[in-house]
Structure 1
Amino acid sequence: METPLAGGLQAVYDAVISSLQCRRPPMLQFRVLQSLMRVPSETMGFLRRARSVDILPLLSALLEDCNPEYKEVVRKFLMEFIDGCIFIMDGHTGYVSSVAFSPDGKHVVSGSSDSTVRIWNPQTGKQVERPLQGHTAPIVYVAFSADNGGIISTDKDNILRTWDAGTAEPVGAPFRGHTQSVLCVAFSPDGKRIVSGSYDQTIRIWDVEAAEATGKPVGEPFRGHTKSVLCVAFSPDGKRIVLGSYDQTIRIWDVEAAEAVAGLCSNQGDLYSNPSPSHFPVFDSSNFLLQSTVYIWLFLSLCIPPMQIIV
């Protein structure tokens, strides 16, 4: 039930929003926002907040001004007084299948069923450069390299492509080696290698420089899973890769030896993984996240069985 205090606060809030919509000079906008900052924080939960995507353009004058106080009051306003959606980034003409932040947080990359890859500025919500074009099939997955300079994308025609994030140009030849859609991909920490997993139940390792010249992977595919490989990741030292599959198992491979050094299975559902420096958190989500069961496994050694469950 709305209290008198909440009702009064809503009226003040609505008046502030109306004032912003009048596009007054930056100094007046600053003072209006300052007045709202004095509202007791315990009453915030009662507000019907405006949409970020509607309000943010009204704050452009404050954001573009060099006065640091202006930027600080806008930051607080965005954090406390509007909903959480900062931008809606439009541009793709098909569904968006994959997105990723660059490691430095300065860019977002997206891939779509329209067969394009796009780079965005998360500070403005605007597209950077033109669409990255070169794929002829829907994009499945996109990822940044650790140095922020490279992008890898995969598609349903079994192709991987690398891109220069600065110029939005493709780098070298398309990577060919999988026989079905490439579902996941990751750069090694040093950016020199790429691992990919596919609907064809294999993973492949790519030397970035060599593959950009020849389009060919390193050696033979890594085999062992009986269903699609859904997720892949390098260990922080780049010497091992971990992958999860629709067959409900995880395997850890030694990159140089090209052989599995560890494995575990679960009879609870499909496995999704994300390595950290000392642990491999493994998310087992039966029935596509309906069961929401989570297991965390500690990687102990290169011997089988290599893992113990952490409780």
Structure 2
Amino acid sequence: MPPSSAAILRPRGSLAKDKFSDHFKPLRSQAYNDVNPSSRGVPTASHHSLRSIEWSPLGNLVATGSADKTLRVWNPERNTVRHSTELKGHSAAIEKVAFNPVKEAELASISNDGVVKIWDVRTKACVNEVKALGDANALAWAPDGTSILAGNRSGELFQLSPTQSTVISTHKQATATTQMAFCWSGEKVFLPTRDGRIRILSYPDLEPIFQLNHATEPGESTEFMLKGHTAACLTAQLSPTGKYLATGGADSIVALFDTKDWLCQRTITRLSGPVRSISFTWDGSYVVGGCEDGNSPSALEPLTES
């Protein structure tokens, strides 16, 4: 497209915390119920335990994965099942769904059946699958969309290609990974672990990037890891600016690490259940953490740039 015909993007401004209530007051939430019609034409609710939800890169689609093997792609403007697309093929609970960061119609899903499937959501076809990954539960696309990192509850990490049916490489960890996050360049991977620490590994070789420069106990690893939780670390998310890494743990804490000195700068302790999801606003000014306890509200925390 020539420069003269390029689209003009409207600037987006930040919204102060004290303005959130007034801004969202006139808005109404919309429920998307997965209801299938019975043989008599009477809607019958199908109850799901939602495990994963993901927006497509351009925001045109929303994918959901459930404990009852239901994998669905929704039209955000239509809240009924008949306007959604169900992708069938997994034989166990779906733990994670993720869109290819650079291909709007390519979706990856990982299930307890030990299979990663790559879908073309336009045709509903499974275009590739990788099997025998064990009790798989973690999945992330590299930022350039050319590879996928998957993990299971036995501590194994698998590097996959969206076009190959075999594993490219396998890496064994001492403790299981609950989820992983890439840095924006794709050169580093942040791995939350069950012992409450976060590993920082190079990609694609998955080797520790930082080592301690002081003496350790005999037999103790010299790998430098982030420590911000007293229980399992469940999730990690890098801010859009790349300045902060936010992590959530089973100890109900959100920890914020700066990515220059890798020090924990702040903790958010207002949640009352395991923090399983974290998200930053588009400009990195706010971070929100969601916990497992339905009676505890999500915590919105403003971040100020120093």
**TM-score range, shorter-chain basis?**
0.5 to 0.7
Match of 1:243 in 2: 191
Q: Per the alignment, do residues 224 and 106 of structure 1 end up closer, same or farther by CA in structure 2, a change over 3 Å counting? A: same
Separation (CA, whole Å) in 1 of partners of 2:51 and 2:105: 22
Check the 8 A contact 1:273/1:280 in 2, yes or no.
no
Q: Secondary structure at the match of 1:133?
A: coil
Match of 1:87 in 2: 31
Letter aligned with residue 294 of structure 1? V
CA-to-aligned-CA distance 1:97-116 (integer Å, 9 cap, x gap): 21111121111101122213
Match of 1:6 in 2: none
Q: Secondary structure at the match of 1:259?
A: coil
Q: Percent of counterpart pairs with the same letter?
A: 22
CA-to-aligned-CA distance 1:68-110 (integer Å, 9 cap, x gap): xxxxxxxx9xx6446x322333245532221111121111101
Q: Does 1:98 align with 2:66?
A: no
Separation (CA, whole Å) in 2 of partners of 1:230 and 1:99: 16
Separation (CA, whole Å) in 1 of partners of 2:250 and 2:63: 29
How far off is 1:310 after superposition? 2.6
The CA RMSD over aligned residues, in Å, is: 2.5
Aligned match for 1:268, one of 222, 230, 238 = 230
Q: Secondary structure at the match of 1:186?
A: strand
Check the 8 A contact 1:248/1:270 in 2, yes or no.
yes
Match of 2:173 in 1: 224
> TM-score normalized by structure 1?
0.63
Q: Secondary structure at the match of 2:130?
A: strand
Letter aligned with residue 233 of structure 1? A
Separation (CA, whole Å) in 2 of partners of 1:238 and 1:177: 26
CA-to-aligned-CA distance 1:172-218 (integer Å, 9 cap, x gap): 2x2124222x2221111111111112211122111222x2xxx2221
Separation (CA, whole Å) in 2 of partners of 1:249 and 1:231: 12
Match of 2:77 in 1: 123
Match of 2:254 in 1: 294
Check the 8 A contact 1:195/1:233 in 2, yes or no.
no
Q: How does 1:13-162 map to 2 (within 5 A)?
A: 80-81=25-26, 84-91=28-35, 93-127=47-81, 128=83, 130-146=85-101, 147-162=103-118
Letter aligned with residue 203 of structure 1? L
Separation (CA, whole Å) in 1 of partners of 2:77 and 2:182: 29
Separation (CA, whole Å) in 2 of partners of 1:152 and 1:137: 15
Letter aligned with residue 110 of structure 2? T
Letter aligned with residue 250 of structure 1? I
Check the 8 A contact 2:196/2:249 in 1, yes or no.
no
User: Any unmatched runs of 5+ in structure 2?
Assistant: 1-20, 36-45, 211-224, 267-306
Q: Secondary structure at the match of 1:141?
A: strand
The aligned length equals: 218
Match of 1:278 in 2: 242
Match of 1:199 in 2: 153
Separation (CA, whole Å) in 2 of partners of 1:97 and 1:297: 26
Letter aligned with residue 255 of structure 1? Y
Q: Per the alignment, do residues 105 and 270 of structure 1 end up closer, same or farther by CA in structure 2, a change over 3 Å counting? A: same
Separation (CA, whole Å) in 1 of partners of 2:196 and 2:174: 9
> TM-score normalized by structure 2?
0.64
Largest Rg, 1 or 2: 1
Q: Secondary structure at the match of 1:274?
A: strand
User: Any unmatched runs of 5+ in structure 1?
Assistant: 1-43, 46-75, 301-305
Check the 8 A contact 1:177/1:216 in 2, yes or no.
no
CA-to-aligned-CA distance 1:229-270 (integer Å, 9 cap, x gap): 111112111122111112211112111333121422345222
Separation (CA, whole Å) in 1 of partners of 2:118 and 2:257: 33
Separation (CA, whole Å) in 1 of partners of 2:151 and 2:228: 20
Letter aligned with residue 173 of structure 2? G
Relative to its length, the structure with more helix (as a share) is 1
Separation (CA, whole Å) in 2 of partners of 1:112 and 1:81: 31
